[in-house]
Chain A
Amino acid sequence: MSELRLQRATKRFGNLTVIEKLDLEVHDREFVVLVGPSGCGKSTLLRMIAGLEDITDGDLIIDGQRMNEIPAARRGLAMVFQSYALYPHMTVAQNMSVGLRIAGENKATIQNKVAEAARILQLEPMLDRKPKALSGGQRQRVAIGRAIVRNPRIFLFDEPLSNLDAALRLQMRLELSKLHDELAATMIYVTHDQVEAMTLADRIVVMNAGRIEQIGTPEELYQRPANLFVAGFIGSPKMNLVEAHSDGNVIDSAIGRYPIRVAEGPVTLGVRPEVIRIGCQDCSTTHSGHVQVVERLGANSFAYLDVGDRTLLTVELPGMTSIKAGEDLQISIPADKVLVFGGNGERLR
């Protein structure tokens, strides 16, 4: 059992408040991803959990025990750093076993644990090498191996894949997913990359400026973002956000009139690129746009449509589309797929 709770956790550096009264629960065996733009306080939050930063205010509770004053080493956590933080003069095996050696474990135990971690991570042929002689992906694995041998209650990851190239990142993402299942471990993972968050997480915590914007499963965040920030952050390409006006009964916008009843005033409509249809299917909401750019990715394509009123709409199309820039296109948007955000950015519908 490993559960973690943060209650009104606050972190200040001098006068600068980086984390403000933050509440978070992480359940046993859960893979929780903290995601948000650079500088929003993700690393700071993770370091507060790890014990590398003091908690200015509020409580950190792990398995029912308040941890604020417990030193990092005795919280039962292991952290994988963005830089890997491998000890350059130690071999792979020594890197993985240093914590156990410090703890005074006996040689046989250490050897078994290192061998086990090396097997899981396919590092067996490299145990005697120094980090300098490893590729980026291999170093990454050693850093993870170092965490595994400690058999921690919770794994902490701070942007572990951001120093890898795209292909390797994808591979390591899959391996991390597998590892989570294989170890049945609780993991807290920090990234600024929403694709990593969507693919890895049981639950995603979207952070912005030291606060939590929304917590939910990837599907919840994608389908029902709580506000404009989450709507714009989750999903690639971004959700289309269109300025509109509600008169109380009908919303009027550059992409049509929708009989959606929300309070009168300015609103923002949110439409995912893949819900937009080409042609006249539900012709009450048909609209036309001028194709400015087409990107063909192979399995799908994206067209960027000027629908007037200085609004550019991203539309997802199947396959290698034959639609070309310069064409005019009829589109329709099913009213039940349109999200509505109020003047304060909160989702109304």
Chain B
Amino acid sequence: MKAQTMRRIAPYLFLFPSLLLLISFVYAPALENMVYSLFSWSSVRIESRFVGLDNYRELFASQIFWRALVNNALYAVISIVFQVFFALVIAAVLVAGVFGPLLRNFFRTAFFLPSILPVTVVGLLWQLIYQPTIGLIDQLLFATGLQSLSHVWLGEEATVMMSVIMVSQWQWTGYMIVLFMVAIQAIPSDLYEALRMEGASRIQQFFYITVPGVRESTLILAIITIFGAFKVFDIIWVMTAGGPNNASEVLGTHMYRSAFRNDVSGYAAAVATVIFFITLAVGAVQIRLQRQD
């Protein structure tokens, strides 16, 4: 009898510590943050003032907020194109054995390498590459007679966001290629052989077997990519800090600046709440899609 009771409560005993940590450091602060977003307060004063939805009104009226949101969306779309679509295609080409094993391993390692670099290092490296005139890109443009395409890549409002986004693609696409390679290699090879005997080209094999075969992985990787796009902060803070003139602002940098530079903590909490609900919505979509199988 006693052993049975023990067996019934044992799982909860195992779960309890992590549940406690989750509640105290994740769920409670998230809720608390939502409460804070209804107040006007500063981190250097004790008193705060209830303002209802004022912070949100201010937020939705702010041009910077909308620009940040658009930048996050752009970041998400381009990341999906590179880190999901291109990565899947390149992974399929590498797995298909178009190259010999030596060349394949070389490509895989070369693509993977940027992902193990710290974001700060990557940011500084690319600041040098983007330097006007003396940077690698401008040097290449000058050398090939295309100097008319030259820009102050990180200094112009028109080019800064794309420039930073491309650095992220450079850093993470290889990582995704490796993940997709693992997923593709789990597909039984005789499926490809059977389809090859039916006369399918490599492209048909890709669409008939690879794509449906990695559907689950693709879904999860796409969702992770979108999460990342709406939470992005580090690479932008290192490279441009949201500038020039807020042209590369994203929700993350907007929130950080509001909280720790402009000291409008209630407003920053409202930004955080918006980020929270966007990622929550993405997560809900993921769960829906996975349930359909």
Contacts and interface: CB of A to CB of B under 8 A. Distances in A.
Contacts of B198: 73, 98-99, 102-103, 150
Given A87-B208, A87-B209, A98-B208, A72 B197 contact: yes
Interface stretch (B5-13, B27-35, B92-100, B188-196): B188-196
A50 interface: yes
Nearest to A100: B198
Contacts of B118: none
Interface in A72-89: 72-74, 77-79, 81, 83, 85, 87-89
* Dominant secondary structure of chain B at its interface with chain A: helix
Interface of B: 188, 190-191, 193-200, 204, 208-209, 212-213, 215
A99 B199 contact: yes
A150 B199 CA distance: 11
B208 A85 contact: no
Interface in A35-71: 50-52
Contacts of B197: 50-52, 72-73, 77-79, 99
A88 B195 CA distance: 13
B196 A85 contact: no
B199 A74 contact: yes
A89 B292 CA distance: 14
What are the nearest 4 A-B pairs in CB distance? A99-B198, A73-B199, A85-B194, A89-B212
Instruction: Determine the interface band of chain A, counting residues with CB < 8 A from chain B.
Output: 20 to 34
Interface centre among B193, B194, B204, B215 (most CB of A within 10 A): B194
Contacts, number: 54
Nearest to B196: A72
7 contacts: A72-B197, A73-B199, A74-B199, A79-B197, A83-B190, A99-B197, A99-B198
Contacts of B204: 102
Nearest to B189: A85
Contact of B195 (A50, A98, A103): A98
Interface in A93-115: 98-99, 102-103
Contacts of A52: 193, 196-197
A221 B212 CA distance: 47
A231 B263 CA distance: 92
Contacts of B188: 83, 85
Contact of B199 (A81, A88, A102): A102
A87 B198 CA distance: 13
Given A52-B196, A74-B199, 18 more contacts: A51-B197, A72-B196, A72-B197, A73-B198, A73-B200, A79-B194, A81-B194, A83-B188, A85-B188, A85-B194, A87-B191, A87-B195, A89-B213, A98-B195, A98-B200, A99-B197, A103-B198, A103-B199
A175 B172 CA distance: 54
A85 B190 contact: yes
Contacts of B191: 85, 87
A80 to B, nearest CB: 9
B135 to A, nearest CB: 47
A103 B204 CA distance: 12
Contacts of B194: 79, 81, 85, 87, 146
B214 to A, nearest CB: 11
A99 B208 CA distance: 11
Nearest to A74: B199
A103 B195 CA distance: 12
A52 B198 CA distance: 12
A168 B194 CA distance: 24
A73 B188 CA distance: 19
A150 B204 CA distance: 18
Interface centre among B193, B198, B208, B209 (most CB of A within 10 A): B198
Nearest to A82: B190
Contacts of A50: 197
Nearest to A83: B190
Contacts of A85: 188, 190-191, 193-194
B193 A81 contact: yes
Contacts of B190: 81, 83, 85
B205 to A, nearest CB: 10
Contacts of B200: 73, 98, 102
Nearest to B191: A85
B213 to A, nearest CB: 8
Interface centre among B196, B197, B198, B212 (most CB of A within 10 A): B197
A79 B209 CA distance: 18
Interface centre among B188, B191, B204, B212 (most CB of A within 10 A): B191
A99 B201 CA distance: 11
Interface string A300-316: 00000000000000000
B207 to A, nearest CB: 11
B219 to A, nearest CB: 14
A79 B212 CA distance: 23
A74 B200 CA distance: 11
Contacts of A81: 190, 193-194
Nearest to B200: A102
Contacts of A146: 194
Nearest to A75: B197
Contacts of A103: 198-199
Contacts of B212: 87-89
A186 B195 CA distance: 21
Contacts of A150: 198
B196 to A, nearest CB: 6
A150 B194 CA distance: 12
A74 B215 CA distance: 31
A150 B197 CA distance: 10
A74 to B, nearest CB: 7
Interface in A138-177: 146, 150
Nearest to A99: B198
